[in-house]
A = this chain, B = another copy of it.
Amino acid sequence: LNANSSPANDERFAGHLRAWRALFEAHAAVVGLLDAELRHAENVPLTWYDVLLHLAEAPERALRMGELADAVVISKSGLTKLVDRLEEARLVERRPSRSDRRVIEVALTEEGLTRLRAAWQTHRRGIELRFARHVTAEEARVLERALTKVRDAARS
């Protein structure tokens, strides 16, 4: 398959490629399970969970639409419709900003926080069962360090 590469290049790159494929496949398999568990147990898809979590961790439990779109890595217009659904479910509220009338702030409601806490119990158990159980403490340290570098580079 590989046309223009020297044996030396292949050798250097092969380990990284296997690591990338392992990451790609492990992510797909685990996320599929976690998403299904959250949907069935709490009726909260993983995309919802991700938004609620970022709001809960923000000061005042609120973020501007743009900040939220960056945090959860979804397109701006995709977020608009996701927040529509979350607002209809009463888990978040939209509030226009007084200082800049172009911006909308999205705030977590009490019901949203309650729902997030319930979902967290399910999600925590899923992460333990599908991920943590199969990874040693040392491996977890390496994963965090390496993948934080990767993420930061990709976002810049």
Contact = CB atoms under 8 A, between A and B. Distances in A.
B142 A20 contact: no
Interface of A: 1-4, 13, 15-20, 22-33, 56, 73, 116-117, 120-121, 124, 127-128, 130-137, 139-151, 153-155
A140 B19 contact: yes
B127 A153 contact: no
Nearest to A127: B20
Contact of A137 (B15, B141, B150): B15
B1 A131 contact: no
A149 B23 CA distance: 11
10 contacts: A15-B137, A17-B127, A19-B147, A26-B147, A26-B148, A26-B150, A32-B154, A134-B146, A134-B149, A142-B146
A133 B73 CA distance: 22
A3 B147 contact: no
Given A15-B141, A29-B155, A33-B154, 7 more contacts: A3-B117, A16-B135, A20-B132, A23-B27, A24-B27, A27-B27, A28-B73
